[in-house]
Structure 1
């Protein structure tokens, strides 16, 4: 991270990955962009401190999760409208169809199930960490994750102990793309559902990155937010 200590470089490096995670958490691009931009605004304000962190984007992701949760915690049902994302150039039709099916199924989950599942399986947060961040009990987190996993496994026709041996949905962007974002602590290479979710998130990141002006528009939006707060 030494080459990315300046905020502008950090923003260009981290924005698309944080946005992809936000989309996986909530399923709505507008809400995801709002929460992601707010998180980077907060990061800018304390950049002198968090720039020294080994993984400053982890701090940004945590703020983004908190912003999204404020919006979604009172909702009982998921966002069932179709998430509009362009097709990554690296992905074939079958891979795109699978990613969109996974996103459709995620949209049917209640918000508590979706966000706890994503944090546990994609970010590798412990049940206790999720409980503290979302102000839930650890048992409540465990129950929501279990229900979400069961629903998705059944919908995808997976056995509970099925092992992944699949190719990534996007060439060159399988589970390894997480890199500095932190490998999950559960199930990679063991649990097929985790592999499917990770590959779907990589597809989402590749999809948002097909827009060459993505970072510049987001940078301008963050600058506008900072000006409004003065």
Structure 2
């Protein structure tokens, strides 16, 4: 059965792909649709192989899959048009960019802890319970993260250490 399907696939896949590509106009979509059509043929191979033209069955399935994608796209476009133009979103503030960049500098465990505590408003005990980490470790991570963030986000100008004479 496997060899029979393999030879069928080898003999017909290129033609089916070209057919689907002509229908939908996008090679990536055509490859996905063709793959799905052959997967469905494989699932029903004992029945499909008995048809007069199994390739026609695969092309029909592929056509229907392409049509369903097109219908889904049309529904999406229709819904988008009913919603109107999307609101213009302002670019992130320099402070937000700086905070995100500083968070990326933290070790993963500290970053996850800080985000859970400050952005998700989770208590130390909630973080400990959700991560399976002792509360003392959560507190230590928060402390280390705050210290690191203070250094990373310090924008005060460097003042040289100069002795003052009077």
Q: Report the TM-score, using the length of structure 1 for normalisation.
A: 0.30
Query: Does 1 or 2 have the higher relative contact order (CA < 8 Å, sep 6+)?
Result: 1
Larger Rg: 2
Q: TM-score, normalised by structure 2?
A: 0.41
